[in-house]
């Protein structure tokens, strides 16, 4: 029986926008066709894998719509060609990173056209191969996994407000109403290079993957997503209920949701006390200031740059560098912004006991203070940008 994935996706313009700049993709890389499912689709996960992706475009007019569509199609094409070229299965994370870097280049080149200047898009992608889900992130669209009675946010927003949270400038409550929470630190096509965050999840039978744009996550809490998906076995019904709830709460942004349920005899059952944390590995985190991913000139695999930064000292330095370099370049996002969700919650909303503790405050205190000051200056620069751009 192998591994099977049941998928449904939906995108909605929302209540306010006049066009839809979101895009999503469901693709079996053993086929040429791309699914835009109007009903739930069942896939057998072959050695070529299944690709799920959500992209939220920006740039106004039709530019954002072009950017998001180009991102998901370029990613599918690059991953499919990599498989045909016989890429090493053990290097799949590097292959994904390379494909995203090449997709970023495609959008960057397209954005040089006068009528597409400034366009870009977020990207959240999940590549399922065997019993593993490889999760990649650029921007602030999100991926969650629902396992048993818990939901876990698998991606971390690459946003200005998240930088403030990480630096200790804002609390989680303050971040929810921060005036510039719609500013992200990077997007596909905004620069020649892009930083890709990648994680690897060991799937369990009946896991549900949820990918969405911030049109959903900005309006619907993680616990509410869990409640709807657990109550509705039919993925199409659950998707539509999630979109309806976001629209009921204003629907100011486009809303996209993809749900995928894992099954099959080759997937182990979830053990009673097993958490998502125990089956997840962070391969490469997003750290502002780290060398970005870019297509290798010789076509070879890219190196993981995560080893170049370690410890709180270097993390604080990276934040300070990012603050200085991003002040005038942080992409502005329309619509509802990012909110920090619990790392993993049960139906009652309790925090997962395995959530990583905060770093000891005595480590590298001086550098952390420097990073905080730099972030404050970044905030002032962003404010001046909004005031003086007209």
Q: Where are the domains of the chain?
A: 4-388
For the chain, the average pLDDT equals 80
| Residue 182 pLDDT class (50, 70, 90 cuts) | confident
CB 99 within 8 A of CB 79: yes
Residues 34-55 pLDDT 10s:
667 778 999 999 888 999 999 9
- CA distances (Å), 69 to each of 61, 73, 261, 365, in order? 14, 6, 24, 44
Most confident of 63-67, 211-215, 329-333: 211-215
pLDDT for res 27: 93
Q: Which residue has the higher pLDDT, 327 or 266?
A: 266
CB 158 within 8 A of CB 184: yes
Cβ neighbours of residue 187 closer than 8 Å, sequence gap 6 or more: 58, 120, 121, 122, 138, 139, 331
pLDDT for res 295: 54
Quick one: what percent of the chain has pLDDT higher than 70?
70
Q: Could you give the count of Cα atoms lying within 13 Å of 145 in the half-sphere of its Cβ?
A: 25
Is 70 exceeded by the pLDDT of residue 24? yes
Q: Provide long-range contacts, Cβ within 8 A and 24+ apart, for 312-317.
A: 312/359, 312/363, 312/364, 312/367, 312/368, 313/363, 313/364, 313/367, 315/287, 316/364, 316/367, 316/368, 316/370, 316/371, 317/289, 317/367, 317/371
Q: Which residue has the higher pLDDT, 117 or 191?
A: 191
Residues 202-254 pLDDT 10s:
999 999 999 999 999 999 999 999 999 999 999 999 999 999 999 999 999 99
Domain 4-388 class, CATH top level = alpha beta
pLDDT for res 118: 86
Beta-strand pair 22-28/150-153: unpaired
| Residue 354 pLDDT class (50, 70, 90 cuts) | very low
pTM over 0.75: yes
Residues 121-170 pLDDT 10s:
999 999 999 899 999 999 999 999 999 999 999 999 999 999 999 889 98
Is 60 exceeded by the pLDDT of residue 77? yes
């Amino acid at each position: 029986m192998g591994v099977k994935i049941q998928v449904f996706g939906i995108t909605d313009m929302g209540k306010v926008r006049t066009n839809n700049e979101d895009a999503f993709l469901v693709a079996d890389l053993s086929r040429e066709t791309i699914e835009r499912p109007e009903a739930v689709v069942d896939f057998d996960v072959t050695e070529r894998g299944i690709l799920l992706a959500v992209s939220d475009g920006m740039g106004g007019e039709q530019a954002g719509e072009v950017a998001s569509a180009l991102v998901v199609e370029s990613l599918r094409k690059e991953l499919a060609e990599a498989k045909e070229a016989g890429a090493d299965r053990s290097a799949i994370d590097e292959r994904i990173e390379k494909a995203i870097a090449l997709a970023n280049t495609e959008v960057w080149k397209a954005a040089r056209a006068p009528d597409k200047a400034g366009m870009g898009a977020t990207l959240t992608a999940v590549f399922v191969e065997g019993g593993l889900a490889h999760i990649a992130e650029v921007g602030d669209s999100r991926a969650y996994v629902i396992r048993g009675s818990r939901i876990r946010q698998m991606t971390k927003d690459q946003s200005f407000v998240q930088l403030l949270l990480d630096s200790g400038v804002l609390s989680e409550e303050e971040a929810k109403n921060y005036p510039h929470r719609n500013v992200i630190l990077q997007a596909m096509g905004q620069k020649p290079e892009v930083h890709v965050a990648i994680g690897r999840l060991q799937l369990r039978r009946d896991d549900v993957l949820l990918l969405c744009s911030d049109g959903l996550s900005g309006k619907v809490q993680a616990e509410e997503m869990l409640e709807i998906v657990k109550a509705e076995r039919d993925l199409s019904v659950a998707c539509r209920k999630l979109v309806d709830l976001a629209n009921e709460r204003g629907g100011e942004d486009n809303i996209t949701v993809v749900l995928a349920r894992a099954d099959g005899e080759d997937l182990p059952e979830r053990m009673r006390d097993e958490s998502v944390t125990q089956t997840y590995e962070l391969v490469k985190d997003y750290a502002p200031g780290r060398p970005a991913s870019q297509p290798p000139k010789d076509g070879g695999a890219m190196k993981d740059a995560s080893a170049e930064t370690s410890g709180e000292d270097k993390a604080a330095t990276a934040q300070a560098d990012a603050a200085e370099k991003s002040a005038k370049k942080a992409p502005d996002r329309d619509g509802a912004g990012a909110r920090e969700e619990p790392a993993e919650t049960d139906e009652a909303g309790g925090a997962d006991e395995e959530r990583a503790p905060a770093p000891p405050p005595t480590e590298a205190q001086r550098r952390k203070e420097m990073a905080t000051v730099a972030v404050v200056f970044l905030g002032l620069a962003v404010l001046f940008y909004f005031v003086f751009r007209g």
